[in-house]
Amino acid sequence: MSERRDVRVLYDEAEIADRVEAMAEALAKTDFHNLLVVAVLKGSFMFAADFLRAMHRHGMQPQVEFVHLSSYLEGTVSQGHVRILKDIESGVSGRDVLLVDDILESGRTLAFAKDLLMARGARSVALSVMLEKPHKRVVQIEADYVGFKCPDEFVVGYGMDVAHQYRELPFIGVVC
């Protein structure tokens, strides 16, 4: 394993917690029915867990599934082709679905997932991301719920990694 470097904090634990709570509050005001939350692995696992607990505090009772998609493989730049590494097990026909991901950057992964779920008969598919990098978009897609607009830096922590390191950090930062 390579030596770990310092990480500069972009969003600390308190900022993240406040933002997740506000996103859940906004989501609770929608008219979703029979909501299925689909967390995109691996990067969204911390955000999804916190977001689901916040939804519960706001009276929501969504079902939860996980999909593992990849466009990065071992690198730090999207390869442009999205692969399903693990599919969801539940049917989505006629259901409202909320895709939860760590970051909306190129848009390829979330556009692929949204199109897939709509093709399977979802009534609607909304997108929620912890971070958004709008200047990196190559596919026309927008998130419905956004934690933070992110600077054009490679971020780690709060579930996001570089070469399988830094996921455990309770904040979002940039490797120095």
Domain-located, residue 146: yes
Total-model pTM = 0.91
Cα 74 to Cα 3, 92, 102, distances in angstroms: 17, 30, 17
For residues 11 and 144, what is the distance between their CA atoms, to the nearest angstrom? Answer: 20
Residue labelled with tokens 């692969």? 83
pLDDT at 157: 97
Structurally, the chain folds into a number of domains equal to 1
Degrees, nearest 5: CA angle 134-144-168: 70
Question: Taking residues 102-116, what's their average pLDDT?
Answer: 95
pLDDT (0 to 100) of residue 1:
47
Asked if residue 158 belongs to a domain, the reply is no
Query: Does 41 reside within a domain?
Result: yes
3-state secondary structure string across the chain: CCCCCCEEEEECHHHHHHHHHHHHHHHHCCCCCCCEEEEEECCCHHHHHHHHHHHHHCCCCCEEEEEEEECCCCCCCCCCCCEEEECCCCCCCCCEEEEEEEEECCCHHHHHHHHHHHHCCCCEEEEEEEEECHHHCCCCCCCCEEEEECCCCCEEECCECECCECCCCCCEEEEC
pLDDT at 37: 98
**Domain assignment present for 83:** yes
> Within a domain: residue 161?
no
CATH number of the domain encompassing residue 50: 3.40.50.2020
Q: Is residue 122 part of a domain?
A: yes
Q: pLDDT-based confidence at 79, cuts 50/70/90?
A: low
159 in Cβ contact with 141 (< 8 Å)? no
Over residues 159-164, the mean pLDDT reads 92
For residue 76, pLDDT beyond 60:
no
Task: Quote the CA–CA distance of 5 and 174 in Å, as a whole number.
Answer: 10
- Round the CA-based radius of gyration of the chain to a whole number and report it: 16
User: Which domain does 23 fall in, by range?
Assistant: 14-150
Q: How does residue 3 score in pLDDT terms, banded at 50, 70 and 90? A: low
Q: Residue 77: which pLDDT band, with cuts at 50, 70 and 90?
A: low
In a domain, 166, yes or no: no
In a domain, 143, yes or no: yes
Per residue in 11-22, pLDDT (tens digit) is 999 999 999 999
- When pLDDT is cut at 50, 70 and 90, the band that residue 136 belongs to is confident
Greatest Cα pair distance in the chain:
49
Q: What local confidence, expressed as pLDDT, does residue 108 receive?
A: 92
pLDDT in tens, 10-67: 999 999 999 999 999 999 999 898 999 999 999 999 999 999 999 999 999 999 999 9
